[in-house]
Structure 1
Amino acid sequence: MNEQTNAVPAWEQRFRAARVSLPDWADEAPDRALYVSNATGTYEVYAWDRSTDGHRRATDRPNGTTDAELAPDGEWIWWFDDTDGDEFGVWRRQPFAGGPDEEAVPGVPAAYSAGLALGRDGTVVVGTSTDDEGTTLYLRRPGAAEPEVVYRHAEYGGVGDLSYDGTLLAVDHTEHGDAMHSAIRVLRLPEGATVAELDEVTGRDEPRGVACLGFAPAPGDTRLLVAHQRSGRWEPMLWDVAAGTETELRLRDEQGRPFPGDLSAQWRPDARSLLIEHEYEARSELFSYDLAAGELTRLDTPRGTVSGATARPDGTVEFLWSSAAEPSAVRSTSGAVVLRAPGAVPPGSVPVEDVWVDGPGGRVHALVQRPTGDGPYPTVFEVHGGPTHHDSDSFAAGPAAWLDHGFAVVRVNYRGSTGYGQAWTDALTERVGLIELEDIGAVRDWAVASGLADPDRLVLSGGSWGGYLTLLGLGTQPDSWTLGLAAVPVADYLTAYADEMEALKSLDRTLFGGTPEEVPERWHASSPLTHVEQVKAPVYISAGVNDPRCPIRQIDNYVRRLEELGKVHEVYRYDAGHGSLVVDERIKQLRLEIDFVRRHLAPGTVR
């Protein structure tokens, strides 16, 4: 490590170190692949010719690019072009070997993306979402001059998958009005007639979701791999949409027991076996499943988190793996590291400890990391977004930075989190935000009572939904927190609902059980603006001015009220959307947060 690198603190090295995503390869040209990397300081899409190990940056935009797909023949790179992170735009494409970009499907208006499917025969389905029209799916057949509408509905939906021959289209939809539990409709192309429907919400007291995982990669095969919740967790099954038959897969561990947590799957290229991912209690593992023999075989992956995996034609599986202590790399079941970002490997960090705390809705799982020295420590409660997401034993530069500065870090997988079964995820309804804060509060009380956390130096922090919970927690639990750090938060829920993208409006209606007009008391109780007068802690807010998920107007409303009340606060607005894809910007934001904490916590707290 050179002298210049030594001068850069470890926390900043972790942010600046180049990263790569799991490569996505072309079905008919497996040596052609795409991945996303921040090697230039901004997250962009890269083309990788594996036969020559040639790498080429395919996109170059000031605010970065991450949404891209490779055509099945490997000839074209498709990427989504929005404006400064606002997520509203069109698909463009360029030759894999390089060349000018062009609008991929002229005639499809700019919108929020609702998915994309690229067929082997040149069939294309583009999904769009707008406030005025809801979800629209456009079909362009090979040789057609104009796209045609093949599906439209006011409720949110999206492209599932195209069958191998391009004659069937699976659509994930929420026409029943429950955005947390989707249904699947299969359409015959080009006319768009319904072939089959799988809906486990309509007419049921306990709704179950289903989701498209992909058609079998074989000619004439009408089997669709589907995820379902019939057993109270996500599991895969096979649905032959032509025959109308369903085959639930009996997946058991080495002791013959059903797996806890959630299971997902994807087809292997031979269409005779599946790659299975098991996600449970903040960690994940991989298996291979032989459909004919009904045999499940564990694949060798280290303890930690698999953030993505893909089965290659040669039988190996490539996966992106990391743990809280060890940075990520793209590995293979062959034992090789397939793809590592250029430059120095970032410094490692501290392993996580698993903690279970009794909460009002059941046992709450939290991940704890301790800095050097003895406690009680100043502690950051880093709250995850989603809300249907979870914190995992994976490498993250943000928590590692707080550890370097002498803070313990606690991350709570509150009710609403995934990976603990459907009941835990679905508990987040009606008392939105307040339910999660009950679980966070229970872990907070444990952290203080156990001697981990100093009760006078507790920072509540989070981004997106985590930022929302931070602001709501400062108002509803004002004596529990010393400081608050909220990034891209919901701050004024009613105004956020009016301004946010349609997909999130649909989710909010499901969470609250109605619109603000139908159940105003629920929306009022769950809005941070309602409780702003009770806020005691200094609060720092950062927001993207082009954010379609947590729009800037509702944040401005909350900040204006803080100012009127004379509350201690600082605000940082930046020119991007729901977060930034620029490394320097991310570092700047964390520096501002650290500086805010340094000035408002007890002297000497921050190293």
Structure 2
Amino acid sequence: MPDWEKRFRAPRIGLPEWAEYAPDRSLFVSNATGTFELYTWDRATGTQRQATDRPHGTTDGTLSPDGEWVWWFSDTDGDEFGVWMRQPFAGGPDEPAVPGLAPSYPGGLAISRDGTVVVGCSTDEDGSTVHVARPGRPPVEIYRHRESAGVGDLSHDGSLIAIEHTEHGDAMHSAIRVVRPDGTTVAELDDTNGGTEELGLSVMGFAPVDGDSRLLVGHQRRGRWEPMIWDPLTGGETALEIDLPGDVGADWYPDGSALLVEHEYQARSELWRYELATPPAGSDAQGAPLTRVETPAGTVSGATARPDGTVEFLWSSAAQPPEVRSTAGTVVLDPPGMKAPGSVPVTDAWVDGPGGRIHALVQQPPGTGPFPTVFEIHGGPTWHDSDAFASSPAAWVDHGFAVVRVNYRGSTGYGRAWTDALKHRVGLIELEDIAAVREWAIASGLADPQRLVLAGGSWGGYLTLLGLGTQPDAWALGLAAVPVADYVTAYHDEMEALKAMDRTLLGGTPEEVPERFEASSPLTYVDAVRAPVYISAGVNDPRCPIQQVENYVQRLEKRGHPHEVYRYDAGHGSLVVEERIKQVRLELDFAHRHLTGAGAGAPESESSEEVESSERVE
């Protein structure tokens, strides 16, 4: 088995979540069976149990505070539309977690220790709703609005509910409303000034102490994400002395005396402890409130403080596979079986672009360039690539390609102005940054200008198709996974929350700003595409629905343009390991067939008959 396949097949484990009142009971995600599913773990006995088993996988789940129940979201074939189910921690039959609640897209979930549940929902018909269900009673709707909203958190004593909403019409920047369980408003925190300011807020969590109404809130008042404490009962706001560059997030330590700070800067991350408790009266303690929690260089993808004061975190780097580690110096969970081979480290490139300096991460195979080069473009767009382990880039490196990942304007982690810069000229701005990095890669001798591949999934797939049409001479090949291909049709067919995001990005609906949708749609430029195109799409995808992909493909077919399409029975990507390997294998094979002298050796490919039959989903 080649190393690139081992990286996908090797068992992985996510960061365990533990029950607040039963910290020995944990829940984690693993691909141990070949499909990502939820597993329970009793730390006291060491017992692990697979809790879910579905053909398309399950990753959205949580534990009740008492550790008695596993909650998980049940959709149909990856379409993200469904209901919450639950089962006993020790095992047993599944049952509807909130009887009487109709299927919807999930919009957040919070569970109180007395069994009260707050559920956020979203449907095309109703917009966003929030429901409260008490034990033995039917759910009661306490919130409804056409714009996107969701459950932020429930206070420790169950008396306060924080709702993130975008009633002002800007889906990129939320406000926060705190309400009682009956829906009456307690307080509102809105940095958008009714939608006239591009400042957002996020709920990080209520203090984990009875009678404590403090809410940890993320804000952007100084041009980046950082935490503060807001008390909705008094209106008081407490700024935190966290002088770190880049974006800063935080969560509570279990006793509420300190915060676990997650710091993201230039595609790496680290952890800090921030002390909130004041020194005892008469104490001479003058220590700084911020102290480093030691982690290796790389990326922390999640962290949690345990009741004993230790911190568990999921860590990786581009060169080293992920591990769940503890500040106690141990690996928390070490899955049995094959270990994922490492890969090559990333190097940083900083390139001057039309909107400022652009950060890119580069991996290259042994030898000297110029190399065939894949520009693998991240999704989101509000996301960023980091120095974290990723099997797909490593597979390209194994096959002799250099890989460049660009944190274009729209990416997170580089300040609010960088993230918000792509409005109205959606897609085109990101491609300007990618073009600047492409020119640097050629000029530096890294990339062969005749063997440049534009690739990506979701928003990255969208940028791939848009780039092939607007920069037709720049790219030798395009690989687009679950893309937006026809922006107008995608808007009308996608889930409601994404419609709200598109209205924010483009300034209205396709009927209100048709020229912007036309300028940003790959379908507009399909007749200019010169490079061969490979597209993969899930037939149940609610985010980038299949019909708009078919519209684009039909235009390619009408031109007789070289292309291949792989349609698979899932949603926005797949949680099945073998399916993901198949998709990467098809991409590698397509590249080697269409790029002269590309890479060190083609993968074992499927026959054309097999590819054709795989497009027909039963």
Give, in whole Å, the separation in 2 of the partners of 1:342 and 1:583.
Answer: 17
Q: Which residue of 2 aligns with 1:393?
A: 387
Q: CA deviation at 1:147?
A: 0.7
Q: CA deviation at 1:459?
A: 0.4
Give, in whole Å, the separation in 2 of the partners of 1:204 and 1:88.
Answer: 29
Q: Which residue of 2 aligns with 1:220?
A: 211
SS of residue matched to 2:475: coil
Match of 1:238 among 226, 229, 232: 229
SS of residue matched to 1:456: strand
Q: Which residue of 2 aligns with 1:83?
A: 76
Give, in whole Å, the separation in 1 of the partners of 2:543 and 2:414.
Answer: 26
Q: Deviations 1:408-467 (Å, cap 9, x if unpaired)? A: 000000000000010100101000000000000000000001100000000000000000
Match of 1:272 among 257, 260, 282: 257
The alignment's TM-score, normalised by the length of structure 1, stands at 0.97
Match of 2:193 among 178, 182, 202: 202
Q: CA deviation at 1:373?
A: 1.4
Give, in whole Å, the separation in 1 of the partners of 2:599 and 2:12.
Answer: 31
Q: Deviations 1:542-594 (Å, cap 9, x if unpaired)? A: 00000000000000000000000111100000000000000000000011111
Q: Which residue of 2 aligns with 1:595?
A: 589
Instruction: State the 4+ residue runs in structure 1 displaced beyond 3 angstroms.
Output: 203-206, 603-606
Give, in whole Å, the separation in 1 of the partners of 2:598 and 2:415.
Answer: 43
Q: Which residue of 1 aligns with 2:173?
A: 181
1:361 pairs with 2:355: yes
SS of residue matched to 2:448: strand
The alignment's TM-score, normalised by the length of structure 2, stands at 0.95
1:547-562 pair list within 5 angstroms: 547-562=541-556
1:74 pairs with 2:67: yes
Residue identity in the other structure for 1:160: G
Match of 1:248 among 239, 249, 260: 239
Q: CA deviation at 1:204?
A: 6.4
Match of 2:414 among 420, 428, 445: 420
- Aligned residues, how many? 592
Q: Is this contact kept in 1: 2:168–2:195, CA < 8 A?
A: no
Taking only the aligned residue pairs, the percentage that are identical comes to 72
Residue identity in the other structure for 2:180: R
Q: Deviations 1:221-258 (Å, cap 9, x if unpaired)? A: 00000000000100100001111100011112xxxxxx
CA RMSD of aligned residues (A): 0.9
Q: CA deviation at 1:207?
A: 2.1
1:247-396 pair list within 5 angstroms: 247-252=238-243, 259-293=244-278, 295-396=289-390
Q: Which residue of 2 aligns with 1:541?
A: 535
1:27 pairs with 2:20: yes
Q: Deviations 1:288-328 (Å, cap 9, x if unpaired)? A: 00013560000100000000000000000000000000000
Unaligned runs of 5+ in 2: 279-287, 602-618
Give, in whole Å, the separation in 1 of the partners of 2:90 and 2:196.
Answer: 53
1:519-530 pair list within 5 angstroms: 519-530=513-524
Q: CA deviation at 1:205?
A: 4.5
Match of 1:152 among 144, 147, 153: 144
Match of 2:153 among 158, 161, 164: 161
Q: CA deviation at 1:606?
A: 4.5
SS of residue matched to 2:419: helix
SS of residue matched to 2:524: helix
Q: Which residue of 1 aligns with 2:611?
A: none
Give, in whole Å, the separation in 1 of the partners of 2:600 and 2:585.
Answer: 12
1:42 pairs with 2:35: yes
Q: CA deviation at 1:603?
A: 3.8
Q: CA deviation at 1:53?
A: 1.0
Q: Is this contact kept in 1: 2:273–2:293, CA < 8 A?
A: yes
Q: Is this contact kept in 1: 2:451–2:598, CA < 8 A?
A: no
1:508 pairs with 2:502: yes
Residue identity in the other structure for 2:99: P
Q: Is this contact kept in 2: 1:125–1:137, CA < 8 A?
A: yes
Q: Is this contact kept in 2: 1:215–1:224, CA < 8 A?
A: yes
Q: Deviations 1:187-214 (Å, cap 9, x if unpaired)? A: 012x210000001113465321011111
Q: Deviations 1:78-120 (Å, cap 9, x if unpaired)? A: 0000001000000000000000000110111001000111111
1:577 pairs with 2:571: yes
Match of 2:123 among 130, 139, 142: 130
Q: CA deviation at 1:143?
A: 3.3
Give, in whole Å, the separation in 1 of the partners of 2:402 and 2:8.
Answer: 19
Q: CA deviation at 1:343?
A: 1.1
